[in-house]
Chains A and B, each alone.
Chain A
């Protein structure tokens, strides 16, 4: 009986164009958009050139300061700041008159840099020009000290050697933020309409009364409907993962380089799918509860929308945390544990204890929510309008 009700509910849901759109098409569109956005973000300034406005007096000697920075194009102007304001340059560099000859003769000279820190392009250019000026400044200091016979080691007492603990590509952190975020949103959006329709919708259309009039036990109906919502959520989640895997592999360069699971690829993908299914089941329980409480589809959606919004917040917690810093609570709190576990998996870490904690905490919460739903569904007040 359970299987027959479940199959009918699935057939009914997948005939709904809205469910089809949200389950299949939306994840594809969302993932494509975000994958390309992140790819562009990580490849960012590669090959990009910036225009720097300088004074007409900016000569060959001054240009040597910027030698080695091939991505800086110089444009001469009688009023560099005006050129910047007009949008013809990303930043302006104004040197005091006779800049090079003053430096060479040991006189005081000044540099003014003008830019727009709200513009990414302008900030990048100012950073490049600052670097160039720092290098030039160090060269001048070295030359002056050498001229006085001073050992250069005096101004460089030690060297700094910075090493990365993780050998992973830094872009993997972006993917570890992107995938759980989209996955949690996609599962919520995909399963939402079906959840609202299967309880609140049935109450609104009065098919619920017809169902309750049959000799089928209410818990059987409840479980079949929950299973339908969980299946739609899981299908949405798996489609999302497949789409992101295909797009990263075929359509990106930087993100593809970042994802490399080595010998663990099969296990990482397998656990990724498992945790998505578990999350879909947990979300289905929450959505089921909002739909049981709602008298109409609209009312049910007004309860479920804020709950689904909560799924966005864990990304703010896990983004700033390293994989080695993830602890028990990150895996014990539902929703947060989806982000934490996927982050670990994407970094190629398979920690069975963390996987078990994640599954157990989701199952416990799911059972509690399901019991509350069952109690409500057995009461007339919540099943009939």
Chain B
């Protein structure tokens, strides 16, 4: 479903080139939930933006549902939903319904499809009471629900979340976790980055660990526990980073 093949991404910072991704390769299968782990600056957001067609790889290729991110970005955009951060991408002066309607228009949904979809999402997230209120006055939790609903408005098969629970309280984080379970049951493919190991442990089938732009591990979570002889993902992650640093130094 998502094929990342030898992807390198460089940014030009004044006269220097900064390499954010170095020959990253892995794939995410249909219906799989994959956690993307890494420290700040490891390249997680750059990778998600590259998959989402917002950035073009300097080298290598990314294909989503068989479409190349450079050659067919619009085909990919129709099929994926992306949420950067937990409660972003909303217009404060519009109501929750107006926000959702606007993005439905941008994704080419008809009026009838939009109405049905908003009703479904409002029911799913318990948003009916505040659907017609301006987003500016919402709590973080309410905003998060509308943001996720906005991401799912066109019913995408593939969903990318970039640190979706950062800065959210426990209740809002639980809403997100329940949603991932539900989406997984619906057969959606999910790739999300996180710093919270419990969350990854609880939700993911596989993990991809990144360190200084390189992929240091990718594989099934249960297999990882067996090979490392521990089910403490935090410990495994730290030891992978130490090994990554040693390799980096050598």
A interface residues, Cβ below 8 angstroms from B: 1, 4-5, 8, 11-12, 15-16, 205-207, 209-216, 380, 384
Contacts and interface: CB of A to CB of B under 8 A. Distances in A.
- Chain A residues touching B, majority SS: helix
B209 to A, nearest CB: 25
23 contacts: A8-B98, A8-B102, A8-B105, A12-B91, A12-B94, A15-B93, A205-B89, A205-B92, A206-B84, A206-B89, A207-B91, A209-B82, A210-B88, A211-B106, A212-B54, A213-B53, A213-B54, A213-B81, A214-B103, A215-B78, A215-B106, A215-B108, A380-B55
A209 B84 contact: yes
Contacts of A205: 88-90, 92
A11 B103 CA distance: 15
A215 B102 contact: no
Given A380-B54, A380-B56, A214 B77 contact: yes
Nearest to A213: B82
B118 to A, nearest CB: 16
B218 interface: no
A212 B54 CA distance: 7
The 6 closest A-B pairs by CB, nearest first: A210-B89, A214-B106, A206-B88, A15-B93, A215-B74, A215-B77
B52 interface: yes
Given A12-B93, A209-B82, A213-B54, A384 B106 contact: no
Contacts of A213: 52-54, 77, 80-82
Interface in B20-66: 49, 52-56
Interface of B: 49, 52-56, 74, 77-78, 80-82, 84-85, 88-94, 98, 102-103, 105-108, 150
Contacts of A211: 106
B102 to A, nearest CB: 5
Contacts of B94: 8, 11-12, 15
A1 B107 CA distance: 10
B49 A384 contact: yes
A209 B55 CA distance: 11
Contacts of B105: 1, 4-5, 8
